Structure 1
Amino acid sequence: MREAVIVSTARTGMGKSLKGRLNATHPITYAGHALAHAIARAGIAPGEVEDVVLGSGHPEGATGYDIARTAALKAGCPVTTSGLTVNRFCSSGLQAVAVAAGRIRNEDAPIVAAGGVESISLVQLGGHMNRHHLTEPGLMAAKPEVWMSMIETAEVVADRYGVTREAQDAYSLESQRRTAQAQADGLFADEIVPLAVKMAVADKASGQVSMVDAVLDRDECNRPETTAEGLASLKPVLSGGMRYAAGQTVTAGNASQQSDGAAALILMEAGEAARRDLRPLGAFRGFAVAGCEPDEMGIGPVFAVPRLLERHGLKVQDIDLWELNEAFASQCLYSRDKLGIDPAKYNVNGGAIAVGHPYGMTGARCVGHILLEGRRRRAKWGVVTMCVGSGMGAAGLIEIYS
């Protein structure tokens, strides 16, 4: 039986959307950068990559072309390397890894790259996509929750399942603390590949924008100075008048930060890796998705994770490390506790509330991180899971080679 193993990973630092170092850089640039370094770390030639599968939450706005194909060319791959862009919104990066693993297991591909990229600065916030959400009349009448904002769904989860503002803030403070400690200990250094860029900086007095040289060599979104008092002082993003919920708990401090970035991994058939005398980081063992009500999309992991584990004969207690994407503290708390995940094994170095959430990148970043952190901890099983807009959950099972 063919196996899909992961032999390398590389990513950019997380750039703060609009104000960060990637605010004027085309996503092809940093997707290609991450991919080129993942290829180099694998010790292979760019032309040996048969296909590049990249996730993007807003693929229609990223380039005008298939960003996986253009990123492959930017990374130095020849025209013979193909590209495929996939979109499962917040799970796009994880979906890309699953697709790449499937191509290796089922289609005899020897080497496939996978990853994810998002430029919230230039696409979602930069005006390069249609901000008008066109609704389909029949579905809008039958299921209007499909078009709810993510913040509204986070409020629904908090209200429906009794997740208090205090609990959300305490969770977020711990995410910030864990990320700050991980940064201080250099735990992201083996993931991040520095990138020199031109950054747009606006003068506060005149508003004039100038381009300055900068290097993104670390995650720049987290706030090590965060305090409980500071979180408690923040006003809710939505403070009433909502159609579906009271809107009094979700703040800028207990929700994921908008950010830009890219991550890439090289997957290989296990026999091919052995022939090359490579030491894989681990194997991608399985992937599952599930649907839930759109108005509580944040609890998607509650449905996807049991499906994944059942198919592989595992229980929650068998998993050594978890990465559950922190879209919002309300959905993280409910999903973690409903599944019975030990907090000590969960988002051990913080999550998106601290480091940021470039939609298409996050799943790929989490796969790379769980492999490297799992090796440090001599773990065996890791699960990456997240909620997905419109009411879905996704989960991937990774066997970590220590």
Structure 2
Amino acid sequence: MKDAVIVAAVRTAVGKKNGALSSVHPADLSALVLDSLVDRTGIDPVIVDDVIWGCVSQVGEQTFDIARTAVLSAGWPESVPGTTVDRQCGSSQQAIHFAAAGLASGQYDVVVAGGVESMSRIPMGSAQATGNPFGPRYVARYGVDPPNQGLGAEAIAEDWSLSRLALDTYALESHHRAAVATDAGCFADEIVPVDVDGQVVSSDEGIRRGGSIDKLANVRSAFRDNGRITAANASQISDGSAALLMMTSGAASKAGLRPLARVHTAVVAGSAPMPMLTGPIPATHKALKKSGLTIDDIGVFEVNEAFASVALAWLSEFGVSPDKVNPRGGAIALGHPLGGSGARLMTTMVHHMRSESIRYGLQTMCEGGGQANATILELL
């Protein structure tokens, strides 16, 4: 059985809604990270067997198989194909799983996995604007109320007895960690600077400094009167893209490239469509069981901060040190460009593992419809 190794991982900075990256077409944003993989490794892109790209709102500028459009926009050979994946927020993490499976099975020798989302240009929910995705049989099973992630996050806060104060405190810590990491240059090696009309965008725009519990307490609840979930303790609407160059060890050796990490274990799990956000818990259990590792073997965790309640519920379940979870901040501070977030988290985790000599890292994300991916990487 062949293996699947990561030889390069890059991302753009994450832009705020209507921020510095909002003027960049999502296909061009994707092409920029593809270009960076070539620049950093020196590979001839003609050797790439496929580009697997996550994107959630596949409508308008993000339709027509944006993976293939990105390949051609990057000037790569027309022989390089591309396909686009939608597993909601976990789309680009699933792209990595598909890439790893293709490498391990011998279908690929060299593949790129990643994703993009320009939420400024393609607002969340745009794909549903022309029709209801829930047909009569779904409604017969689950009722007429469509799943709502915000209400799901509220339900998790209730079920795990997470107070508004706990959620806001977690959010402040996310911003603090992201600011500390930025100031220390921790993201420098992973971020591809983007030139937007002469302005170079090389830092994540969503990080807020100088916050306080008192300030966050004044933010109104977003989904329910007197609720606990607010814009301040939830992930941000964002623009961004990320990509990982993956190979078999043999192909990496042939290309003269040193692998950063290998995909040790990759799983996906289903959970209830409401509250829909609890999937990272069974996905983590499944990944640990399949890997033969224990929770104590894992040195760092990336648990996507769709909402503070998701990460805190996961922490409550597994009891790991909070210092090991999202140590460089998460989506509350850095942003959550839906289809690009899985690859963004993994890019950050790979670079953190290398800088801190951490052998095993685990990443998991909640996903619309009640699903979650979990991936364990092993440092090489």
Which category of TM-score, normalised to the shorter sequence, fits these structures?
over 0.9
Range 367-376 or range 56-65, more displaced? 56-65
Counterpart position of 1:68: 67
TM-superposed CA distance for 1:288, in Å, is: 0.9
CA contact (8 A) 1:286 1:396 kept: yes
Q: Deviations over 1:359-401 (max 9, x none)?
A: 1111101111111110111100011101111111210111122
**TM-score w.r.t. structure 1 length?**
0.91
What is the alpha-carbon distance in structure 2 between the residues aligned to residue 127 and residue 17 of structure 1? 15
SS at match of 1:23: coil
Letter in 2 for 1:386: M
Establish whether residue 236 from structure 1 lines up as the match of residue 233 from structure 2.
Answer: no
Shift of the 197–222 alpha-carbon distance from structure 1 to 2, 3 Å rule, reads same
TM-superposed CA distance for 1:341, in Å, is: 2.3
Counterpart position of 1:205: none
Establish whether residue 163 from structure 1 lines up as the match of residue 162 from structure 2.
Answer: yes
Counterpart position of 1:4: 4
Counterpart position of 1:223: 208
Correspondence list, 1:206-355, <5 A = 213-240=198-225, 248-355=227-334
Counterpart position of 1:368: 347
Counterpart position of 2:362: 383
CA contact (8 A) 1:122 1:128 kept: no
What is the alpha-carbon distance in structure 1 between the residues aligned to residue 82 and residue 35 of structure 2? 14
What is the alpha-carbon distance in structure 2 between the residues aligned to residue 145 and residue 320 of structure 1? 43
What is the alpha-carbon distance in structure 1 between the residues aligned to residue 301 and residue 126 of structure 2? 35
TM-superposed CA distance for 1:144, in Å, is: 3.3
Shift of the 341–61 alpha-carbon distance from structure 1 to 2, 3 Å rule, reads farther
What is the alpha-carbon distance in structure 2 between the residues aligned to residue 146 and residue 263 of structure 1? 34
Letter in 1 for 2:268: V
Letter in 1 for 2:113: A
Shift of the 214–133 alpha-carbon distance from structure 1 to 2, 3 Å rule, reads farther
- Provide the aligned length of Structure 1 versus Structure 2: 380
Shift of the 392–128 alpha-carbon distance from structure 1 to 2, 3 Å rule, reads closer
Counterpart position of 1:195: 194
Gap regions ≥5 residues in structure 2? none
What is the alpha-carbon distance in structure 2 between the residues aligned to residue 239 and residue 131 of structure 1? 27
**TM-score w.r.t. structure 2 length?**
0.96
Regions of 4+ moved over 4 Å: 125-129
What is the alpha-carbon distance in structure 2 between the residues aligned to residue 228 and residue 145 of structure 1? 38
Coordinate RMSD, CA, aligned: 1.7
Letter in 2 for 1:371: V
Q: Deviations over 1:89-112 (max 9, x none)?
A: 110110011111111111341110
Counterpart position of 1:209: none
Letter in 1 for 2:174: S
Gap regions ≥5 residues in structure 1? 199-212, 241-246
Counterpart position of 2:106: 107
